[in-house]
Amino acid sequence: MDDQTQEILATLRDGLSEKSSLFFAQVDSFVERLVYLHIYDVLINDPDRNVVWLCLNSPRDKILGRFDDFGFDISNSMDRVFFIDVEVPGKPPQQGTFYCSSPADYTKMASHISNLFDRDTRTLLVMDNMNVLASDTLQVVETFMQFVQKKVHEREGGIVSVLLRDILSPENETLVKSFFDVVLDVTNIGEVHTEIGLKDFDFRYSVDNGSIKLEYARRKVKREKLKILIVDDEPDIPELLKLSLISEPYDFLVAYNGEEAIDVALKEHPDLILLDIMMPDMDGYEVVEHLKQSNTANDIPVIMISAKTAIEDKVRGMELGIDDYIAKPFDKREVKARIKMVMRRLGWSVEE
């Protein structure tokens, strides 16, 4: 598994940890493999977390077989995986499995979910196909979902489910999606768009030699040197930053106020902007607002560098769509690391 795939999985793992999330997908997409990869990643990288799988679409044995088919070995995590499955007459009960009479046995399913979540906090509930639930009376389904969400959130857990588009009516699709905090829109050409936290999140997925690969879907930087615009009204700061980054493959542009920064960004289209907040004519927030309104500059990543370190200042920047935040006085090692982290999302690395 390459570094970019691991980084995207970590973003999903952290961003969806206490959310109810829905993979909204075309029937012919690879969404099943993507969901199994997400659950596998949680089991491997979050060892204190349990998974409860509500078997709406497939029985327990088929689900375990799919993990094997996809090459995801969860054998060492089976003590943390529990199933709520439909009872089959004459079949002996399986370890770690709780039974109900059908996928419409809401009373029993709710009871099992409640008991399992009362045992452990931060448990992840997997509902493998919301289309199965949504085929029932939606008022009943809504009542069930409200109960489940309340129990899961009380216990600091999360929910992952799948809804295949164009099977239900548009009205019912909209209602089902409204049950979830986060909707991951999965296309049949291998792209995913969602909003996690305060930021849009886009990535692509593909299958190579049986393994799923993830990569960021934003514009990729393809040049040997980055063009970085430094914006600060104190002349010493750009010089200090350039000196700190002298060993890196970067070319620099400098602007000393907000209006000049916008003008340079629109004309030169830098690969990255290092932006101060406190400037006399136009502050950094206003600069970002102007750039986000531009069709040619709205995708330029921005790292704010400022002495304003209050949470409110950072949140305001994130709400505007900045990519990272560095506090003054800064350490050159942190500046280097954060630039590389942000630009890696665009597919750029020093090795290129």
As given in the structure block, the two tokens for residue 148 are 């489940």
The pLDDT, as a whole number, for residue 187 is 83
One-letter amino acid at 310 equals A
Q: Are residues 82 and 196 in the same domain?
A: yes
Does a structural domain hold residue 351?
Answer: no
- pLDDT tens for each residue of 79-88: 999 999 999 9
Does a structural domain hold residue 343?
Answer: no
Does a structural domain hold residue 140?
Answer: yes
pLDDT at 122 over 50: yes
Measured CA to CA in angstroms, residue 296 lies from 217, 262, 265, 290 at distances of 17, 12, 9, 11
Pairing of strands 191-196, 182-186: antiparallel
Q: Are residues 10 and 58 in the same domain?
A: yes
Percent of the chain with pLDDT over 70: 96
Full DSSP string of 143-203: HHHHHHHHHHHHTT-EEEEEEETTSS-HHHHHHHHHT-SEEEEE-TTSEEEEEETTEEEEE
pLDDT at 221 over 60: no
What is the residue whose two structure tokens read 């857990």? 157
Does a structural domain hold residue 346?
Answer: no
- pLDDT tens for each residue of 234-285: 999 999 999 999 999 999 999 999 999 999 998 888 999 999 999 988 999 9
Return mean pLDDT, the chain: 91
Q: Are residues 123 and 248 in the same domain?
A: no
The pLDDT, as a whole number, for residue 175 is 93
Of 197, 216, 235, the residue that ends a domain is 216
Q: Are residues 62 and 168 in the same domain?
A: yes
Distance from C-alpha of 36 to C-alpha of 302, rounded to nearest angstrom: 34
Q: Are residues 165 and 261 in the same domain?
A: no
Q: Are residues 100 and 238 in the same domain?
A: no
Q: Are residues 53 and 128 in the same domain?
A: yes
- pLDDT tens for each residue of 16-48: 999 999 999 988 778 999 999 999 999 999 999
CB atoms under 10 Å from CB of 115, counted, come to 11
Distance from C-alpha of 199 to C-alpha of 182, rounded to nearest angstrom: 12
Q: Are residues 71 and 210 in the same domain?
A: yes
Does a structural domain hold residue 162?
Answer: yes
Q: Which of 179, 182, 174, 108 is nearest to 143 (CA)?
A: 179
Does a structural domain hold residue 319?
Answer: yes
What is the residue whose two structure tokens read 């970085």? 228
CATH at 307: 3.40.50.2300
Does a structural domain hold residue 242?
Answer: yes
Of 216, 241, 275, the residue that ends a domain is 216
The pLDDT, as a whole number, for residue 289 is 93
CA 20, 21, 27, 29 dihedral sign is negative
Of 156, 185, 216, the residue that ends a domain is 216
Pairing of strands 199-208, 211-216: antiparallel
Q: Are residues 140 and 8 in the same domain?
A: yes
The pLDDT, as a whole number, for residue 326 is 92
The pLDDT, as a whole number, for residue 352 is 41
Bigger pLDDT: 209 or 290? 290
pLDDT at 222 over 60: no
Full DSSP string of 76-143: GGGGGEEEEEE--TTPPPPTTEEEESSTT-HHHHHHHHHHHHHH-TT-EEEE--HHHHHTS-HHHHHH
The lowest-confidence range among 6-15, 131-140, 152-161, 210-219 is 210-219
User: How does residue 293 score in pLDDT terms, banded at 50, 70 and 90?
Assistant: confident
- pLDDT tens for each residue of 93-117: 999 999 999 999 999 999 999 999 9
- Maximum distance among all Cα pairs of the chain, rounded to whole angstroms: 80
Tell if the pTM clears 0.85, that is, is over it. Answer: no
CATH at 10: 3.40.50.300
pLDDT (average), residues 152-158:
96
- pLDDT tens for each residue of 53-92: 999 999 999 999 999 999 999 999 999 999 999 999 999 9
Q: Are residues 201 and 302 in the same domain?
A: no
Q: How many domains does the chain have?
A: 2
Q: Are residues 194 and 102 in the same domain?
A: yes
Does a structural domain hold residue 344?
Answer: no
Q: Are residues 150 and 233 in the same domain?
A: no
User: How does residue 319 score in pLDDT terms, banded at 50, 70 and 90?
Assistant: confident
Which residue range(s) make up the domain with 16?
3-216
Judged by DSSP in three states, 294 sits in: coil
